[in-house]
Amino acid sequence: MLKEFLNQQVTILFIDGGSIGNGKLIEMDERFVKYQSPHNLNIIPISSIKTVTLQTEERPNSTIKGFV
């Protein structure tokens, strides 16, 4: 399922509540994902990922509301 996001700009939300954004999934296998942001190359275990969100377009006037 994650293979659909290869070479696309995504935001990753982790199980512990952290997140990382403004980067691309560049490679993956059954255990790890390589995520490249403008400043870092991260190798992330798939077991620590809660959600992956595709970043589409910027919406400067939108507000974000939700629950954690």
Render pLDDT for 27-63 as a digit per residue (tens, 0 to 9).
999 999 999 988 899 999 999 999 999 887 666 655 5
**Helices (runs of H) and strands (runs of E) counted in the chain:** 0, 5
Closest CA to 12 of 38, 44, 60, 39: 44
Residue 32 burial (CB count, 10 A) = 14
Task: Domains for the chain: give ranges and CATH numbers.
Answer: 2-54 (2.30.30.100)
Q: 8 or 64, which is more confident?
A: 8
What are the start-end ranges of the E strands in the chain?
A: 9-14, 19-28, 32-36, 41-45, 49-54
Q: Supply the Cα-derived Rg of the chain in whole angstroms.
A: 12
